[in-house]
């Protein structure tokens, strides 16, 4: 992220996160990138060549980013205090070896322009970005070089981080599930919190048939401060007949239907603002092995599926990476 004219916000901020948990961080006021997880500190200590090289590349990318940000802000509606965000990403499936990537820029929180990886051309995401689309596409090699970075440097970094962070990245944590109700006449929510990773779904059933949006308000998956996640689903019908309560249940699934928690709709276990439940909710837990990882380093997003990656290699030089990423 690059900002200008905004008090108390560093000019340049770079961060990496895994499933919303920050693992590396840097801003223009720091001397070097800071690891924010123990296993990332291990990379710094045991693979100094990679850490020092990649850290320098990310920090020294600032002049390139400034050049890009300056060109993006040359639109008619330019304002003081602009914030430019850049996200670069690649996805890799270790079974099919398929690689995907993307690079997107936002201006003041609004999507501005992105790179079409298949064609190697820039695509404006709003009318104000059409000038940038025209200028950046004058260099047809620029998009292709970024695509090359996605299939080389990005994957090499992924393997290193995955190798050191297996225990953290591949952990599976089931949530606690509760039935919540503001008042006895309010709709009932099924709330699951503390699960990891975020590859989960939650839904209500009646007579084992799933209920859809006409009858359920489904919330988004949200991060907790400890790196886990939470989600909720609320029954819209707040007037379920007493004899029908045992026909409803809430289902939480992590990865698949073979790994789920089932909570029956029971007045005795509902937690409300006016009193506590009298017993813990009955749940059925079934576990199955699976893995899904999202790794963000700086502005580079990596996604991997499955588990075995141990190869390591050092990224290219600062100068070469800057040349690859800098538009003409």
DSSP secondary structure of 65-125: HHHHHHHHT-STT--TT-EEEEEEEEEEETTT--EEEEEEEEETTEEEEEEETTTTEEEES
**Topology (CATH) of 2-168+293-310:** 3.30.500
CATH of domain 176-285: 2.60.40.10
Query: Residue 327, Cβ neighbours under 10 Å: how many?
Result: 17
Q: Sorting pLDDT into bands at 50, 70 and 90, what band is 170? A: confident
What are residue 110's DSSP bridge partners?
Answer: 107
Distance of CA 122 to the CA centre of its chain: 23
pLDDT, greater one: 128 or 190: 190
Instruction: Please check the confidence at residue 27 and state whether its pLDDT lies above 90.
Output: no
DSSP string, 299-311: TEEEEEESS----
pLDDT of residue 5: 54
pTM value? 0.64
pLDDT at 211 over 90: yes
Radius of gyration over every alpha carbon of the chain, rounded to an integer in angstroms: 24
Residue 314 near residue 55 (C-beta atoms within 8 A): no
pLDDT for the residue numbered 305 = 38
Domain boundaries, the chain: 2-168+293-310, 176-285
- The span from the CA of 115 to the CA of 102, in Å, is 6
Q: Residue 156 pLDDT > 80, yes or no?
A: yes
Which pLDDT value is given to residue 155? 79
Q: 20: which DSSP letter?
A: T
In three-state secondary structure terms, 328 is coil
Count the residues in the chain.
328
Cα angle at 94 between 88 and 97, to 5 degrees?
75
Q: How confident is the model at residue 188, as a pLDDT?
A: 96
Cβ neighbours of 249 (radius 10 Å): 19
Q: What is the mean pLDDT of residues 273-289?
A: 44
Task: Tell me the per-residue pLDDT of 43-94, one tens digit each, with 9 for 90 and over.
Answer: 999 999 989 988 887 777 778 788 888 777 765 555 555 788 888 777 777 6
Whether 215 contacts 268, CB under 8 Å: no
224-268: per-residue pLDDT in tens? Answer: 988 899 999 999 998 899 899 999 999 999 987 778 999 999 999
Distance CA 279, CA 304 (A): 40
């Amino acid at each position: 992220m690059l900002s200008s004219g905004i008090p108390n916000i560093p000019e340049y901020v770079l961060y990496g996160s895994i499933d919303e948990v920050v693992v590396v961080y840097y801003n223009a006021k720091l001397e070097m990138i800071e690891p924010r997880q123990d296993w990332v500190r291990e990379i710094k200590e045991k693979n100094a060549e990679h850490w020092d090289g990649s850290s320098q590349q990310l920090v020294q990318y600032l002049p390139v980013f400034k050049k890009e940000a300056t060109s993006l802000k040359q639109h008619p509606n330019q304002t003081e205090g602009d914030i430019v965000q850049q996200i670069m990403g690649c996805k890799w499936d270790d079974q099919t070896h398929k690689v995907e990537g993307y690079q997107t820029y936002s201006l003041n929180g609004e999507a501005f322009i992105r790179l079409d990886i298949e064609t190697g051309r820039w695509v404006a995401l709003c009318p104000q970005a059409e000038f940038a689309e025209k200028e950046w596409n004058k260099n047809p090699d620029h998009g292709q070089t970024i695509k090359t970075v996605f299939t080389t440097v990005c994957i090499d970094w992924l393997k290193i981080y995955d190798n050191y962070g297996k225990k953290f990245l591949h952990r599976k944590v089931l949530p606690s599930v509760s039935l919540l109700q503001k008042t006895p006449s309010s709709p009932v929510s099924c709330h699951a919190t503390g699960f990891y990773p975020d590859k989960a779904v939650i839904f209500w059933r009646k007579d084992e048939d799933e209920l859809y949006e006409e009858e359920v308000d489904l919330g988004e998956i949200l991060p907790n401060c400890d790196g886990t996640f939470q989600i909720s689903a609320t029954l819209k019908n707040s007037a379920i007949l007493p004899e029908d309560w045992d026909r409803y249940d809430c289902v939480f699934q992590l990865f698949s239907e073979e790994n789920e928690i089932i909570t029956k709709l029971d007045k005795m276990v509902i937690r409300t603002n006016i009193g506590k439940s009298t017993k813990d909710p009955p749940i059925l837990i079934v576990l199955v092995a699976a893995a899904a990882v999202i790794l963000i380093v700086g502005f580079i997003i990596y996604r991997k599926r499955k588990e075995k990656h141990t190869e390591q290699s050092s990224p290219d030089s600062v100068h070469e990476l800057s040349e690859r990423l800098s538009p003409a």
